[in-house]
Amino acid sequence: MDFANISALAYLISGVLFILALRGLSSPETSRKGNLYGMIGMAIAIGVTILSLLGKGDLDPVTIVIILCGIAVGGIAGMTIAQKVSMTSMPQLVAAFHSLVGLAACMVAIGALYAPQAFGIDDGAGGIKTQSLIELSLGVAIGAITFTGSVIAFAKLNGNMSGAPIILPARHLINIALGVAVVALIVTLIVTHGLATWAFWGIFVIALVLGITLIVPIGGADMPVVVSMLNSYSGWAAAALGFTLENIALIITGALVGSSGAILSYIMCKGMNRNFFSVIMGGFGGDTAAAGSGAVETRPVKQGSADDAAFIMKNASKVIIVPGYGMAVAQAQHALREMADKLKEEGVEVKYAIHPVAGRMPGHMNVLLAEANVPYDEVFELEDINSEFATADVAFVIGANDVTNPAAKTDPTSAIFGMPILEVEKARTILFIKRGMSAGYAGVENELFFKDNTMMLFGDAKKMVEGIVKGL
Amino acid sequence: MEAVDPTIFRLAIFVLAIFVGYYVVWSVTPALHTPLMAVTNAISSVIIVGALIAAAAHAEGAGIGVWISKGAGGLASALAAVNIFGGFMVTRRMLAMYKKKEKKVEGK
């Protein structure tokens, strides 16, 4: 068996290890081992590539320096970031990482275009094989969209840019025109057998612009869908290049990541009861500010203090905590865990209820609670806990709003009608920690605030929870 | 019998891997969706394989093109390395935080 076959088998093994890495995530116990499989798979893929380059005599000193410098600089940067990043900023981090995969895919495509012999894709007449050109064009186009799209998503999540949607005039027309231009340039590239490098750069630049125009109209709270979607794109870009490189590991990984991102986007859309296309078309949540200042709500609400809340919860036998993005912003998860511990000492049963779209990325709340040492078997998903609100004495809503709004079930005219909600209204008492009376992201007023058994706790989530801890 | 283009086999692998991905990802518990995104990020950086090949392009009189390829390959290696090291490490950090309830210690 020659080396090409052995290395192909090794790539297959690393592909399988990547599948096992994802498989491990089916439960927290197996997940750590899964991550290890992923690392081994990566080491095999890199090792085999280096060995085969070595076998072909391609590793001259200059190349070795380039590769070592690249990996050292990138590796140190990556490790530093991974150690320092806070769990609250995980959505930004993931968006930033997606942008890097996108850009790396573009760079690989550029490399293949300029050195087709090294990739074995030259047609023997100075040009590049048609099939490889299609793959490269797709790789660079999807990669570039992933890159700039993720940069925009990062800026929105990180607060470098307003989360409000930016609506360009005739944006759908602009996007369609850009898309048509990309297709025209791909055709040009193929017709010229890859010699028209300007067409390739044209695809690259237009796709970069397209990444921006596609993502800017999408509002901040729709970012869970966007981040998942870009995750999926980075996978498809990798897969396209996997065909060019004839590399099984890359093809398998691209397919895994592509379908993973697509599934997460689907789950997030379902969590909001919105059509995927309506989310990516953007524009949602744009009138929040206008609605907030326009219709002034005058009905009275029952307001309480931290001590009132502490008293109510101490005398409860079951409390369900509903965290939302506000908890992440206020960094209240540690104080919240402390509160739960105190309540448990008092003999109160405490559970956490997580809505699928709570936070800014899939599973965001779970990570934050895990960070605060909340045991994961106290944390439940919507469908597992919704029936329990009826037996709960207190629903403690911290930094969430739309995901508890009963209008989603009762008011067909509401913007969030049909969205699955956490049925906190069934609890005996509802405590809401909020900074003010503003409506949620969807711009919808929440009827729960005006109910007799609701008590509003106005203030910063962290300070309020700390106050409650003192009162217990 | 005519020989089948090896691309068809790769396409078969691709399509089947999509199905594998579909079933594997649906079995991921929603509590671990954030680590899932971080680890998919890390594994998609296996694109570094292409980066290494580009960086190792030969310079036998092919001129500027080879150097563009080498530069792009070097940059791509660095970008992918950020993701590989950063992605796996941050995933490990997150997964280490998921703990079960300590029933015995509480002594209930």
pLDDT (tens digit, 9 = 90+) per residue, A208-264? 999 999 999 888 778 888 899 999 999 999 999 999 999 999 999 999 999 999 999
CA distance B18 to chain A (A): 5
Q: What is the pLDDT of residue A361?
A: 87
> How far apart are alpha carbons B67 and B65 in whole angstroms?
5
The single residue of A393, A402, A411, A460 carrying the catalytic annotation is: A402
Q: Which residue of B has its CA nearest to A229?
A: B37
Q: What is the pLDDT of residue A1?
A: 61
> How far apart are alpha carbons A422 and A389 in whole angstroms?
8
Instruction: Using CB atoms within 10 Å of the CB of residue A135, give its burial: 0 to 12 exposed, 13 to 18 middle, 19+ buried.
Output: buried
Is residue A370's pLDDT more than 80? yes
Q: What values do phi and psi take at A458, rounded to 5?
A: -85, 135
Q: Torsion angle of alpha carbons A264, A268, A273, A278, nearest 10°? A: -80
A360-391 residues labelled b (16+ CB within 10 A) or e (exposed): bbbbbbbbbbbbbebbbebbbebeebbebbee
CA nearest A372: which of A436, A307, A465, A271? A465
Q: What is the pLDDT of residue A313?
A: 92
CB atoms A110 and B68 under 8 Å: yes
CA distance A297 to chain B (A): 37
Residues 324-363 of A with CB under 8 A from B: 354, 356, 361-363
A112 touches chain B (CB under 8 A): yes
Q: Which residues of B touch A105 (CB under 8 A)?
A: 47
Stronger pLDDT, A155 or A299, i.e. the higher one:
A155
CA distance B5 to chain A (A): 12
The angle at the Cα of A262, spanning A256 to A263, to the nearest 5 degrees, equals 90
> How far apart are alpha carbons A228 and A94 in whole angstroms?
10
CA distance A298 to chain B (A): 39
User: What percentage of chain A has pLDDT greater than the value 90?
Assistant: 58
A282: left (phi over 0), alpha (psi -120 to 50) or beta: left
Q: Which residue of A has its CA nearest to B27?
A: A26
CB atoms A100 and B82 under 8 Å: yes
Q: Identity (one letter) of the amino acid at B46? A: V
- Helix axis angle for B33-44 and A248-272, nearest 10°, is 150
Q: Which tokens is B76 given? A: 């791509």
User: What percentage of chain A has pLDDT greater than the value 70?
Assistant: 96
Q: What is the pLDDT of residue A166?
A: 84
Is residue A415's pLDDT more than 80? no
Inter-residue contact A423 to A417 (CB < 8 Å): no
CB atoms inside a 10 Å sphere around CB A406: 17
Stronger pLDDT, A154 or B106, i.e. the higher one:
A154
Model confidence pLDDT, tens digit, residues A8-37: 999 999 999 999 999 999 999 999 999 999
Q: Which residues of A touch B108 (CB under 8 A)?
A: none
Tokens 């990482």, residue?
A97
CB atoms A104 and B94 under 8 Å: no
Model confidence pLDDT, tens digit, residues A34-57: 999 999 999 999 999 999 999 888
| Residues in contact with A84: Cβ distance below 8 Å, sequence separation at least 6, in sequence order | none
Domain boundaries, given as residue ranges, for chain A = 1-59, 89-281, 306-471
Q: In the predicted model, what is the mean pLDDT of residues A373-402? A: 92
A234 touches chain B (CB under 8 A): yes
A3 touches chain B (CB under 8 A): no
A127 touches chain B (CB under 8 A): no
Residue among B31, B39, B78 whose CB faces A70 most closely: B78
> How far apart are alpha carbons A162 and B104 in whole angstroms?
48
CA nearest A409: which of A399, A422, A398? A422
CA distance A205 to chain B (A): 16
Model confidence pLDDT, tens digit, residues B7-55: 899 999 999 999 999 999 999 999 999 999 999 999 999 999 999 999 9
Confidence of residue B106 (pLDDT cuts 50, 70, 90): very low
Is residue B107's pLDDT more than 50? no
Model confidence pLDDT, tens digit, residues A178-223: 999 999 999 999 999 988 889 999 999 999 999 999 999 888 778 8
Model confidence pLDDT, tens digit, residues A92-148: 999 999 999 999 999 999 999 998 888 888 887 778 899 999 999 999 999 999 999
CB atoms A107 and B68 under 8 Å: no
Q: Which residue of A has its CA nearest to B61?
A: A115
Q: What is the pLDDT of residue A169?
A: 83
CA distance A59 to chain B (A): 6
Q: Is A393 noted as a catalytic residue in this protein?
A: no
CB atoms B77 and A70 under 8 Å: yes
Q: What is the pLDDT of residue A289?
A: 37
Superfamily of chain region A306-471: TPP-binding domain (3.40.50.1220)
> How far apart are alpha carbons A254 and A257 in whole angstroms?
5
Model confidence pLDDT, tens digit, residues A63-98: 999 999 999 999 999 999 999 999 889 999 999 999
CB atoms B10 and A250 under 8 Å: no
A115 touches chain B (CB under 8 A): yes
CB atoms B28 and A22 under 8 Å: yes
| Mean pLDDT (chain A, rounded) | 89
CB atoms inside a 10 Å sphere around CB A134: 17
Element (H or E) spanning A370, and its range?
Answer: helix A364-371
> How far apart are alpha carbons B36 and B38 in whole angstroms?
5
> How far apart are alpha carbons A298 and B95 in whole angstroms?
46
Model confidence pLDDT, tens digit, residues B88-102: 999 999 999 998 876
> How far apart are alpha carbons A85 and B86 in whole angstroms?
10
> How far apart are alpha carbons A241 and A112 in whole angstroms?
9
Q: What is the pLDDT of residue B108?
A: 34
Confidence of residue A288 (pLDDT cuts 50, 70, 90): very low
Is residue A287's pLDDT more than 50? no
Residue among A98, A263, A373 whose CB faces B41 most closely: A98
**A221 CA to centre of own chain:** 11
- Helix axis angle for B6-26 and A3-23, nearest 10°, is 20
Q: What is the pLDDT of residue A290?
A: 38
CB atoms B92 and A35 under 8 Å: yes
Q: Which tokens is A396 given? A: 């403690």
Is residue B78's pLDDT more than 50? yes
Count interface pairs A-B at CB distance under 8 A: 401
